[in-house]
Amino acid sequence: MGFDSLIGGSIWDEYSQNVQDRMNNPRHMGEITEEEAEARGGRLIVADFGAESCGDAVRLYWIVDPKTDKILDAKFKSFGCGTAIASSDVMAELTIGKTVDEAVKITNLDVEAALRDDPDTPAVPPQKMHCSVMAYDVIKKAAAEYKGVDMESFESEIIVCECARVSLGTLKEVIRLNDLKTVEEITDYTKAGAFCKSCIKPGGHEEREYYLVDILAEVRGEMEAERLKAAADSAAGTGEDVPFAQMTLVQKLKKIESVLDENIRQMLIMDGGNLEVLDIKENDEYIDVYIRYLGACSGCASSSTGTLYAIEATLKDKLDPKIRVLPI
């Protein structure tokens, strides 16, 4: 019985023609024996991988040339649904002719993309994306068998969304950089949660260690804590929200320098001059700010008239009306 007789028309429409063809007529299904591998001068690799979430399993056969690490041939056996067969068929095909190191770089997204009829239309419905994940995992298992290492050594990051291969580090970075506030925004930016949706929150078809709702809450909490700390540090360092007259000497100096940078210095520099603040002293009813002109300003006639008035008026307006500017 063909798989088309098992699937209703409306559901069938969600599968690409390529998927349907490979479900019924896979090109690389079968076994490879030790004798066949030896006849081609290669080493036989057999790897099994199963998906606990759906009960599907796949066995991958490789003939690998030990001199070049190139995969000379690949076949598979799939124990599961039609989508698993189609995904495994493409997976085996994509590995042929590649080195083992190149094959490990093939992801489930590559498998799904190769199953599409056109680049813009998904090959399978979202809930079936896990079948291509299984194909990706069995490649890692075969590579691990060949190299004599653990398959986890090929995964350098914690993967939160298996369907879209989105890591924990990427999710945290994207949330921060783009100030994301909802899971929907995360999905728009990364595709995480767009397929089987198990990674969004607990209760999906597969239990996950990390969920998008928790990652979002954690990162947003960290961002808010950092914002509050930065605000507190800024207030402590610059005297923000503290009257100028009550600031420490260092805070007063920072505020004066800030006002001069924003309102005065640029004009002086354009004329070849500048100024520096030498001291700040409280003198009964005044807050005296002692300055020294630099460059062209030191010999300019207006340094004791118009320029001095502009500096003093700006500091009075921005900081405290009791400020008096005294050039030295």
| Selection from 214, 221, 185 nearest residue 199 by Cα | 214
How buried is residue 254: exposed, middle or buried, by Cβ count under 10 Å (0-12/13-18/19+)? middle
On whether both 207 and 284 belong to a single domain, the answer is no
On whether both 65 and 143 belong to a single domain, the answer is yes
Whole-number pLDDT of residue 10: 55
- What's the whole-number mean pLDDT along residues 111-120? 91
On whether both 233 and 268 belong to a single domain, the answer is no
On whether both 26 and 140 belong to a single domain, the answer is yes
Sorted by sequence, the CB contacts under 8 Å of residue 283 that are 6+ apart come out as 324
User: Structural domain of residue 192, as residue ranges?
Assistant: 157-238
In terms of pLDDT, which residue wins out, 232 or 316?
316
Q: Which of 54, 81, 163, 196 is catalytic?
A: 54
Q: Is the pTM of this model over 0.75?
A: no
Whole-number pLDDT of residue 11: 66
Structure confidence at residue 51 as a pLDDT band (50, 70, 90): low
Q: Which of 131, 161, 199, 297 is catalytic?
A: 131
Summarize pLDDT for 278-306 with one digit per residue, the tens.
Answer: 999 988 889 999 999 998 888 787 888 88
Whole-number pLDDT of residue 1: 37
On whether both 119 and 49 belong to a single domain, the answer is yes
Whole-number pLDDT of residue 234: 64
Task: Name residue 74's beta-bridge partners.
Answer: 62
Q: What is the largest CA-CA distance in the chain?
A: 103
| Selection from 34, 92, 43, 49 nearest residue 65 by Cα | 43
On whether both 132 and 213 belong to a single domain, the answer is no
Amino acid symbol at 181 = K
Beta strand 70-79 with 159-161 is unpaired
Summarize pLDDT for 233-289 with one digit per residue, the tens.
Answer: 666 655 556 788 888 888 899 999 999 999 999 888 988 899 999 999 988 889 999
Residue 7 reports pLDDT greater than 70: no
**Known catalytic membership, residue 131:** yes
| Selection from 220, 221, 218, 174 nearest residue 193 by Cα | 174
In terms of pLDDT, which residue wins out, 132 or 193?
193
Q: Which of 40-44, 107-111, 187-191 is predicted most confidently?
A: 40-44
Summarize pLDDT for 149-174 with one digit per residue, the tens.
Answer: 988 777 667 889 888 778 888 899 88
- What's the whole-number mean pLDDT along residues 97-121? 91
On whether both 207 and 184 belong to a single domain, the answer is yes
List the structure tokens of 19: 């998927």
Whole-number pLDDT of residue 5: 40
| Selection from 64, 28, 33 nearest residue 144 by Cα | 64
The residue assigned the tokens 């199963």 is: 50
Beta strand 286-295 with 323-327 is parallel
- What's the whole-number mean pLDDT along residues 75-100? 92
List the structure tokens of 250: 């260092």
Whole-number pLDDT of residue 211: 96
**Known catalytic membership, residue 163:** no
Q: DSSP label at 29? A: B
On whether both 23 and 91 belong to a single domain, the answer is yes
- The residue from 238, 270, 288 where one domain ends is 238
Domain count, the chain: 3
- The residue from 203, 219, 238 where one domain ends is 238
Contact 72, 65 (CB under 8 A): yes
| Selection from 100, 95, 111, 214 nearest residue 149 by Cα | 100
- The residue from 101, 127, 156 where one domain ends is 156
On whether both 91 and 170 belong to a single domain, the answer is no
On whether both 9 and 136 belong to a single domain, the answer is yes
How far apart CA 89 and CA 60 sit, in angstroms, is 10
On whether both 164 and 96 belong to a single domain, the answer is no
How far apart CA 111 and CA 19 sit, in angstroms, is 11
CATH number for position 287: 3.30.300.130
Task: Name residue 291's beta-bridge partners.
Answer: 277, 327
On whether both 12 and 27 belong to a single domain, the answer is yes
Whole-number pLDDT of residue 53: 53
* Cα-based angle 251, 252, 255 (whole degrees, multiple of 5): 85
